[in-house]
């Protein structure tokens, strides 16, 4: 029954994430926001909604390691698993802004979270800093985009009807709510049955399950030739996972680090994989993540998961 709950939860999260992406893109088109910024903000936040609801639900029920494992595991999966798989199918172009600005912001807040967690707790003050950075980051992104595209014409043929937009928005939120409940409940029960830590479940089952919307969104975007949207979605999702998911969750409930392995093992992997991404993006100044590089990222993720399970 618990495995069925996990399966249904993941399916609902996937459906809810897809519907929320559709509604979010439609809202962005109406607001005249660029495709890249749509990927870095609207789409990445919509696809990160499963992480937010799952982490918040887990933290409120006292399963804090699932919250941390979900965020750290999802960020590792976004770069190594999802970007790796997407690049294996579609070699991915990288914009200069992504290299110069977005990666730097992602890496900075990753290090900032590492500093905040060094004392073993993410309190209200640290969560408030993360949330304030989230608000500032998005205001700057959207303002910059609107300034560059103030004369853009909205293509009405690409927009949903108003009732469709509301249907996808409300249906997506409802699917994410119930999906998060099923996934957390099933995962906690499986951890108890198998005698493994909630950290391991959070880093594997939960993080991969909540990352499926990012995988779907990235593959669809790359298939349509919007590589900026695909890579922007993944980097933006990592930014939102730290600033939004942990920021919002930490404002509601204190988040003590229950497993020291999150700091000593998982975080070094996240920092290392984030560092590996930079030379890949600027490799011979081609601004292209190739299939071979995608394979390397996927192999890194495989090694990380083996380490989590074996250790």
**CATH number of domain containing 51:** 1.20.1420.30
Cβ within 8 Å of residue 191, ≥6 positions away: 197, 198, 200, 201
pLDDT average, residue stretch 4-18: 82
Closest CA to 33 of 148, 155, 205, 201: 148
| Tokens encoding 255 | 């988040």
Confidence of residue 250 (pLDDT cuts 50, 70, 90): very high
Most confident of the ranges 136-145, 162-171, 277-286? 162-171
- What is the value of pTM for the model shown? 0.81
Secondary structure E strands in the chain: 92-93, 121-122, 255-256, 288-289
Most confident of the ranges 100-109, 125-134, 194-203? 125-134
Indicate whether 156 pLDDT > 70.
no
Confidence of residue 41 (pLDDT cuts 50, 70, 90): low
Domain count, the chain: 1
Full domain range(s) for residue 11:
2-310
Q: What is the pLDDT of residue 79?
A: 92
What gap in Å lies between CA 12 and CA 176, rounded to an integer? Answer: 6
| Tokens encoding 48 | 């990160």
Do residues 201 and 191 touch, judged by C-beta distance below 8 A?
yes
| Tokens encoding 74 | 């999802």
Indicate whether 36 pLDDT > 70.
no
Cβ burial 214-241 (10 Å sphere, 16+ → b, else e): bbbbbbebbeeebbbbbbbbbbbbbbbb
CB neighbourhood size of 60 (10 A): 14
Confidence of residue 260 (pLDDT cuts 50, 70, 90): confident
* CA angle centred on 271, ends 230 and 278, rounded to 5°: 50
Q: What is the pLDDT of residue 274?
A: 94
CB neighbourhood size of 114 (10 A): 14
pLDDT average, residue stretch 50-61: 84
pLDDT average, residue stretch 265-284: 88
What gap in Å lies between CA 289 and CA 110, rounded to an integer? Answer: 22
Q: What is the pLDDT of residue 285?
A: 53
């Amino acid at each position: 029954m618990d495995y069925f709950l996990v399966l249904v939860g993941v399916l609902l999260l996937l459906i809810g994430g897809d519907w929320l992406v559709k509604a979010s893109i439609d809202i962005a088109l109406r607001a005249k926001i660029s495709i890249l910024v749509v990927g870095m903000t609207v789409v990445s936040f919509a696809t990160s909604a499963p992480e937010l609801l799952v982490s918040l639900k887990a933290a409120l029920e006292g399963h804090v390691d699932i919250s941390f494992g979900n965020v750290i595991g999802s960020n590792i999966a976004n770069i190594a698993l999802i970007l790796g798989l997407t690049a294996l199918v579609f070699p991915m172009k990288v914009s200069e802004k992504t290299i110069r600005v977005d990666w730097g912001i992602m890496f900075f807040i990753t290090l900032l979270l590492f500093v905040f967690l060094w004392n073993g707790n993410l309190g209200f003050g640290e969560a408030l800093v993360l949330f304030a950075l989230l608000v500032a980051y998005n205001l700057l992104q959207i303002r910059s985009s609107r300034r560059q595209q103030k004369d853009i014409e909205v293509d009405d043929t690409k927009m949903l009807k108003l009732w469709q937009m509301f249907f996808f928005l409300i249906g997506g939120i409802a699917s994410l709510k119930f999906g998060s409940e099923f996934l957390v409940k099933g995962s906690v029960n499986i951890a108890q049955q198998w005698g493994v830590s909630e950290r391991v479940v959070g880093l594997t089952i939960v993080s991969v399950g909540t990352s499926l919307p990012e995988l779907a969104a990235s593959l669809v975007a790359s298939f349509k030739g919007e590589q900026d949207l695909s890579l922007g979605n993944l980097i933006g999702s990592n930014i939102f996972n730290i600033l939004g998911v942990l920021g919002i969750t930490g404002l509601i409930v204190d988040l003590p680090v229950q497993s020291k392995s999150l700091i000593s093992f998982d975080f070094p992997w996240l920092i290392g994989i984030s560092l590996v991404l930079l030379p890949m993006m600027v490799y011979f100044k081609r601004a292209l993540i190739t299939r071979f590089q995608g394979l390397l990222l996927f192999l890194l993720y495989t090694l990380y998961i083996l380490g989590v399970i074996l250790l």
